[in-house]
Structure 1
Amino acid sequence: MPSSITITRGRLTATISALGAQLMSLELDGREYLWQGDRRWWGKRAPILFPIVGSLRADHALSRSGPVSLGRHGFARDLEHHLAGTSDDGRSVTFELCDTSETRKLFPYAFRLRTSYALTGPASLTQTFSVTNTGSVTLPFSVGGHPAFNVPVPSAAGERFEDFKLEFSRAWSARSPVIAEGGLLSCERERAVLDDADALPLTHELFASDAIMLTDVPDRVLRLRSARSGHGISIEFPDFRHIGIWSAAGEAPFVALEPWTGHATLTCEDDVFEHKRDIIELPAGHTDERSFTVGLF
């Protein structure tokens, strides 16, 4: 199997690697919108988060089926995914990851994860996660995306990081939990992010304490747009309650927009896996499917 697949629709191209089923490139008119993984700041580009999002306390939990031992964001991003199919028109591709004896040592459940990428418009990419419980007991999990985007886009002459802002469909107020020791989310400490506003100016200081997590964003849509040129990225995530927004320390020239079904363990939660807030519990034989769409403009 080739190590990567490129799909094309007119002026839009996307390349996906079999390793982690990770999006590696997203170009419109030859301009690369996706972060290219510079290790000076962050070496990944758009990893898949499964079967957890964020961190467990000390990377461990106890589930109904036994111990769970997972590093931050789970193992799907680090494993080879198998090519499950491509469309005849060359506009979509699907990769598949199934449990193995090795994954069951870390996460004692049977599953099939299919990740599809489809160019659904002349400037839009839809990423779909399809999780099937192939076992005989209920499957608890979280899933999410982590695509990071160049800010500014290369060749955007004269633009700066601070020219961009996050825009919402209407004014609203939002607070984000503070990230505590070990990558957990604090139950006691929050920070105000928006106060009856429909836009949030982008600064590197915004990420001085790591990521922001927003919950129940209006209409589950936001845009990352340059006030100078008007160009940017939109993301629609109707199937995800949370979205993480993150850039690495040291004035990294990217922003990650991360739709999540769940999140890291809360400091006030216990270590029972099924007790995690917003955990999905999928009955045996059932499939859970969720999508988000990235638009370039």
Structure 2
Amino acid sequence: MTIATKEVISVEEKTTGPWREAWNGFKKSKAAIVGTAIVLFFVILAIFGPWIAPQGLNDQNMSIRLQAPSAEHWFGTDDYGRDILSRVIHGARLSLTVGFLSVIGSIIVGSILGIIAGYYGKWWDTIISRIFDIMLAFPSILLAIAIVAVLQPSLQNALIAIAIINIPTFGRLIRSKVLSVKQDEYIVAAKAIGMKDNRILISHILPNSMAPIIVQGTLAIATAILEAAALGFLGLGAQVPQAEWGRMLSDSKQYLTNAPWTLVFPGLAIMLTVLGFNLMGDGLRDALDPKMKN
């Protein structure tokens, strides 16, 4: 083999790989790009909300309460004369924070339990799997309501409840992936040469389980935002005067007929954010799943 050939092969190895192929496949999906753009838009709102919002979060002016959308107040005002656009922008931070943090917590706890159940098996698998089955037997929103009712209504407790109810989803996903991966030859070889279990889990099994975690995590953020909005609407999530989108819907439901803009814009924010994460998650699934590449 000539030097030039070796150099070409080296360059190809550097420019190709499963993650680069996944990125190239992701870019080909127009829906995924649109979803990513929507998500980035709301992330920017969440980060720079206090500087972007035209007015303060709780600036009140009762003389302009329930004012329709206008040049001065693009989304109109609510029953306290607060600018709805400003509150929707501030609400992006709360909703995305709950979505991201609850899913991260679910992934961490679910991955640990799923790895233990799948890798060590035996009675570990039996106990953990039965716990997952019991949790999945309850409708997720009802379980979240029960948890918040015990912990007392607040945004932080809603976040904890959402994280808990999503643990079985990630736990079962990781368990199934571990059961598949641990039978591969390189895992058997690692055990044969005396590699410790923790090193096998961290260096081999966990990295090879990342693709489904990323896909499910993206889709779970959309679900978490919806669940947070549902809890907020029921008065079990964010509390007054926090500008959480579900709470804004709850506070404005009595004005549906005479001031519909108070509900329309927070509802659109929820819809667009969830749509963005779903489109992005679908694109990631198509890009990372080998069965979908064709």
What TM bracket, shorter-length normalisation? Answer: under 0.3
**Larger RCO, structures 1/2 (Cα 8 Å, 6+ apart):** 2
Structure with the higher helix share, 1 or 2:
2
Higher strand share: 1
| Bigger radius of gyration among the two | 2
TM-score, normalising length from structure 2?
0.25
